[in-house]
Chain A
């Protein structure tokens, strides 16, 4: 499975598809930290929300890199379960690099104050990452089969993740806990606890991952 993860990451880098995602990350980081110094925890909370669609888009780009027949060749070599898992892992690695960039760059340019908040920031980004990889996978070509539907799933999912997470949302449990995490890191009163948010993020990613695996089994 490591071999397939490596092959997909190589193709993603060599095909130039990594570049748009990297630019997207830099744009988001510039916007968040362009206005001066921020408290680390609060800034990382917003960064995790803003990076959610970027990481989801990168996951879709990575999973779309491989031609359909090559994906089938991979299935014949390693089996469907490992092929699906390797795709999600490769997308996770790309997401991790994005998170690392988004967390380190602000320090380099002096956009963040205080040493505190790094652990909370890591947690917020990890919660966003697992959900974003799930959404990107659902928007990928093996599931949506067309660019139009793929973009529609990606955009709708990203918007809903934010809208459903707003304060007083009617169904906050339907979305990954991006906004709730940002509120928690900003010290918002009455925000959910870290264990509750962690469980929600893990459950959301688990359910979306299961739906993706199920659709991959049934869609050939």
Chain B
């Protein structure tokens, strides 16, 4: 799969999010997309998934089917978990009831089969988002911040799932700003910055460390702002009660 001179901007007068991006994703490879918040990671992933169309340039040899896991699953829909997964499988052309049941069980959704999407917690809804992308056996799996919103048990499943898709000949694209992608062996990294995509470095050469610091709650915003101003990527701000 190749992105040939791909540029993108939202609207005709919007600023360019990506400019003249030329990258190639090897078949059966895993690519981790890094970059600051707002750098264009999600845009790049949505272009790759075919959700957005390039303002100019072209995307060639995109594998099918495409499984796209959005950063936030749209839970405001009047379907039950199984009803939704069945409807999405039908969109992909075939309803494989065994595959639906297998992913429901594996992702811990079994007790939510008949639950309406709107009644699910954010983490459980995110698992539904993951399941709908995996059920059609994707040739291209695009995961937008898959570690966001998932509970610890589900987060542990992600590397194994990625490895299975790759083993089946699929290509995987993952964005990550939590530094969790260290658990994807063999992945290459792309870094999105200033509208361009730098590629090629093995992930190991660009190891990311997460430093957790504790400050009085009243100073949190100011400290986060100061760190950002120094060029650091503030991953999360939370109170002790949320830990």
**A-contacting residues, B185-227, CB 8 Å:** none
Residues in B neighbouring A7, C-beta threshold 8 A: 87, 90-91
Bound-state Cα–Cα, A75 to B68, Å: 10
**A-contacting residues, B51-109, CB 8 Å:** 51-53, 65-68, 70, 72-74, 76-79, 87-88, 90-92
Tell me, rounded to whole Å, the shortest Cβ–Cβ distance linking A57 to chain B: 20
Option from A4, A76, A79, A219 in Cβ contact (under 8 Å) with B68 = A76
Residues in B neighbouring A72, C-beta threshold 8 A: 46, 51, 68, 70
- On whether the beta carbons of B51 and A75 are closer than 8 Å, the reply is yes
Option from A6, A73, A220 in Cβ contact (under 8 Å) with B70 = A73
Residues in B neighbouring A69, C-beta threshold 8 A: 70, 72-74
Tell me, rounded to whole Å, the shortest Cβ–Cβ distance linking A212 to chain B: 16
B132 sits at the interface (CB 8 A): yes
Bound-state Cα–Cα, A67 to B67, Å: 18
Bound-state Cα–Cα, A14 to B87, Å: 14
Tell me, rounded to whole Å, the shortest Cβ–Cβ distance linking B112 to chain A: 18
The dominant DSSP class at the B interface is loop
Residues in B neighbouring A3, C-beta threshold 8 A: 87, 90-91
Residues in A neighbouring B79, C-beta threshold 8 A: 10-11, 14
Tell me, rounded to whole Å, the shortest Cβ–Cβ distance linking B175 to chain A: 15
- On whether the beta carbons of B77 and A67 are closer than 8 Å, the reply is yes
Tell me, rounded to whole Å, the shortest Cβ–Cβ distance linking A131 to chain B: 27
Residues in B neighbouring A217, C-beta threshold 8 A: 53
Residues in B neighbouring A96, C-beta threshold 8 A: none
A22 sits at the interface (CB 8 A): no
Residues in A neighbouring B10, C-beta threshold 8 A: 220
Bound-state Cα–Cα, A192 to B132, Å: 53
Tell me, rounded to whole Å, the shortest Cβ–Cβ distance linking A10 to chain B: 7
**B-contacting residues, A189-220, CB 8 Å:** 217-220
Residues in A neighbouring B78, C-beta threshold 8 A: 10-11, 14-15
Q: Mark A63-82, 1 if CB is under 8 A from B, else 0.
A: 00011111011111111100
**B-contacting residues, A1-46, CB 8 Å:** 3-4, 6-7, 10-11, 14-15
- On whether the beta carbons of A77 and B74 are closer than 8 Å, the reply is no
When A75-B51, A77-B65, A77-B92 are in contact, do A218 and B12 touch as well, CB less than 8 Å?
Answer: yes
- On whether the beta carbons of B77 and A77 are closer than 8 Å, the reply is no
Tell me, rounded to whole Å, the shortest Cβ–Cβ distance linking B42 to chain A: 11
**Nearest-CB residue, chain A, relative to B138:** A76
Tell me, rounded to whole Å, the shortest Cβ–Cβ distance linking A198 to chain B: 34
In the complex, 13 of the A-B residue pairs with CB atoms within 8 angstroms, ordered by the A residue number, are A6-B87, A10-B87, A11-B78, A11-B79, A14-B78, A69-B74, A72-B46, A72-B70, A76-B68, A77-B91, A217-B53, A218-B12, A220-B53
Q: Which 6 pairs, one residue from A and one from B, show the smallest C-beta to C-beta distance? A: A14-B78, A67-B74, A3-B90, A69-B74, A77-B91, A76-B68
